[in-house]
Amino acid sequence: MKSNTNSCCSHQTEFDLVQVKGTWTRQTERCRAEQGKLSDAKIYENKSDHGVSWTVVSPIVFTYKVIQCKDILDPRNDTLLWGHIGDEETKGTLTDSEPVKRFVIMDETVHRLYGSQVAQYFEAREVVHRILPLPTTEENKRMELVTKILEEVHEFCIDRRSEPIIAIGGGVCLDVVGLAASLYRRRTPYIRVPTTLLSYVDASVGAKTGVNFAGGKNKLGSYVPPVATFLDCSFFQTLPIRQISNGLAEMLKMALMKHRGLFQLLEADGRKLLHAKLQSCRTSNSSELEDSATASIRIAIETLLEELAPNLWEDDLDRLVDFGHLISPELEMRVLPELLHGEAVNIDMSFMVYLAHQKGLLTGAEKERIIQCMLGLELPVWHQDCTLDLVRKSLKQRLKHSAGSLRMPLPTGLGSAEIFHDVIEDCVLCQAYQKWTDELSSSGNK
């Protein structure tokens, strides 16, 4: 027997949620009897011949700070301990409570370099603390690390509202600790202190956390931003040049996508910035380099925040920041640990520049300027394991997981880009790949 859908009538009612004397009640705006605390959430009740359904709409708002500072490990500097607190009254209340406690997770290498300074900082501030060094490498970026952190945090016993977990290290450390914090008691605040350039301009200022799973990069994770990120570029002084180059790849990504001025800065001064480790020089004849270092980092962070803030949970899949991240996850995991993250991203970007040129989006001169800038930053522009089959597989996966649209960010000039939804014709892909290989294979591998 066919059902008569026309005979099924339904009626929807919108309810506000109002709290009076600690109790929440549903009230329609028209019939609101009492004034109280009004929630941003709403409940929609739908009654039909078949029953009743309720739809809950509850906005989630995250507020987090990104703070640049100097000498963060100087005990006279309040930032590491209280920088996440917005008002002095709250800070005073927490200071009065005894004892103040902090749980700190550090990358093992960072711990060897800075562990004693971190301990001295908290000892000088009379803070009860526990420092947990962990091997936070890409190969170890698994749930086992998360579980280890959770066990140690549970044993240390922190107040999940007033005693944030602190992560000090590179991007892997920040990602792993962020995931652990998002899981502990369903969400515990945490603080990021990046020590690599890559994490400084990329992972530390966003909301994503994650670990690798089932052979895939960051397949498990969450969108829970830290309460604060503290940025101190003095950590760069102990980084090898390759790690600086690795971070410059993500800065170049933002330059190519949306900031011609940043591209020109990296094109002109990139090699000097690289070998100065983006430190501000204080000699009288180096003001230009100081300006370049300060400006390049500031622009990279500001442009990334512009793209992340309106789309923190990636509800919109059209994301310029995905440039360099279509092929690189597959390549990076395939050759692990040969390539650093930024190096794999740059190889991806290099190929996409050739693809953009093949599609007529970039001139030959623009393509050449971009590749020369990459080489000036001492980044790889080609890799033998980035095969045409890998490129095809990666784009196929992209199409599968992007709601039936390729959503490919491509440069349309030096500092401008568009997101293309159409599937790339295989002949165009092959031609771009062949030219890329013919011209760059001799200079590609690090």
Active site residues: 208
Q: Which residues, 6+ apart, have CB-to-CB distance to 221 below 8 Å? A: 175, 179, 208, 209, 210, 211
For residue 219, how many other CB atoms are within 10 A of its CB?
12
Q: Are 347 and 384 in contact (CB under 8 A)?
A: no
3-state secondary structure of 415: coil
Q: How far is Cα 386 from Cα 371, in angstroms, rounded to an integer? A: 17
Q: How far is Cα 379 from Cα 350, in angstroms, rounded to an integer? A: 10
Burial call 400-421: b when 16+ CB within 10 Å, e when fewer: eebeeebbbbbbbebbebbbbe
The Cα-based distances of 70 to 77, 121, 234, 236 in angstroms read 9, 14, 7, 12
Q: Are 173 and 198 in contact (CB under 8 A)?
A: no
Q: How far is Cα 136 from Cα 134, in angstroms, rounded to an integer? A: 6
Q: Which tokens go with 35?
A: 């004034």
Could you give the angle at which helices 328-335 and 341-358 cross, rounded to 10 degrees?
A: 140
Q: How far is Cα 222 from Cα 182, in angstroms, rounded to an integer? A: 7
Burial call 48-78: b when 16+ CB within 10 Å, e when fewer: eeeeeeeeeeeeeeeebebebbeebbeeebe
Q: What is the distance of C-alpha 272 from the center of its chain?
A: 26
Burial call 134-168: b when 16+ CB within 10 Å, e when fewer: bebbbeebeeebbeebbeebeebebeeeebbbbbb
Q: What is the distance of C-alpha 154 from the center of its chain?
A: 26
Kind of pairing between the strands at 228-231 and 65-68: parallel
Query: Could you tell me which of 43, 60, 39, 143 has the C-alpha nearest to residue 313?
Result: 60
Unique residue bearing structure tokens 């690795």: 246
